[in-house]
Amino acid sequence: MDRTTTVPDSKASSSAAVFGAPCWVSLMARDLTPALDFYGAVFGWTFRTGRLGEQFRVALDNGQPVAGIGALAPELQVAVAWTPYFAVEDADTTAGRIRERSATVAVGPVSFQTGRGALAADRDGAVFGIWQGKLVADWESWRDREPAWLRLRTRNAFESAIFYGEVLDWANERPGCCDVQYEADEVVLRHAGHIVARLSSGALEAAPDPTLRPHWEVHFVTVDVPAKTATARAHGGVVIDQGTGATGPWATVRDPDGATFTINTRAVSAPPQAAPK
């Protein structure tokens, strides 16, 4: 089923205006068409082409942008995974900060039509991206509706907050920066009053199970987790963990290509629930 439309990105904000904040989530798949079919079936997303080329799509939920899905270039030796991107003013400067703190810049910074981006891994191995340039159209609506939110599973949340704070200019004296608070054993990141990410301790670097190693989790919010979970199974996904929290069920799913994501009924601003392990 062809779910793709061609709509140019417009009215996009600049990464400089929201520096340090999560600005997007993206999946790089081995084969674009099966990925679009799977996520279109599970979430009912439609897709539009943007300005990053024919091998990249913007996923839409009721016409609003949710995430990006692209095809991995054959020469890139990176894992298939959902990856969060953080807005920065200067990708080269930020990449330098990452390297100075003994972390890794795996790809880039690379120039695109709308900006510059890079893929990196923090000192514990959690993969994230940085983006300098135009944000997806209606980015503020994406943030306010919270269709996707983030949690870092890391060895030590406090140490990780220091690393990301130094790299991304969190909690400094500049107007518009992200605010960091320690709440209920988690580090909570806010931007413009919105909770945009949580950092949790307890991940194990040497764990044989990759879901227990340090990594960024991408959570997609829905009103019917059991239905989405059943659809994911029917289309080749594997449920690797599930449970019920304070506001309803959640499930962590591995897609047919190996990327994991969590389907959650909780908005990020709600009180913490029993988290997936």
pLDDT digits (tens, 9 = 90+) for 132-188: 988 876 666 666 665 678 999 999 999 999 999 999 999 888 888 999 999 888 999
Residue 102 zone, left/alpha/beta (φ > 0; ψ -120 to 50; rest): left
pLDDT digit string, tens, across residues 228-250: 999 999 999 999 999 987 668 89
Number of other CB atoms surrounding residue 74 within 10 Å: 7
Strand bridging mode 260-264 / 248-254 = antiparallel
DSSP-H helix ranges across 112-258: 139-145, 157-168, 225-234
pTM: 0.86
pLDDT at 116 over 80: yes
Nearest CA-CA partner of 108 in 126, 100, 96: 96
pLDDT class of 211 with cuts at 50, 70, 90 = confident
Number of other CB atoms surrounding residue 148 within 10 Å: 23
Question: 273: which 2 tokens?
Answer: 């629930």
Q: What per-residue confidence (pLDDT) applies to 9?
A: 40
Of 23 and 247, the structure prediction assigns the larger pLDDT to 23
Contact 91, 116 (CB under 8 A): yes
Q: Angle between the 32-43 and 225-234 helix axes, to the nearest 10 degrees? A: 150
pLDDT digit string, tens, across residues 65-104: 889 999 876 656 667 899 999 999 999 999 999 999 999 9
Helix (H, G, I), strand (E, B) or coil at 210: helix
Of 54 and 244, the structure prediction assigns the larger pLDDT to 244
Question: 119: which 2 tokens?
Answer: 């893929």
Contact 55, 277 (CB under 8 A): no
Averaged confidence pLDDT in the chain: 84
Of 209 and 99, the structure prediction assigns the larger pLDDT to 99
Q: What per-residue confidence (pLDDT) applies to 247?
A: 66
Q: What is the mean pLDDT of residues 127-131?
A: 95
Nearest CA-CA partner of 136 in 242, 22, 30: 22
d(CA 97, CA 164): 10
Q: Output the furthest CA–CA distance in the chain (Å, rounded).
A: 50
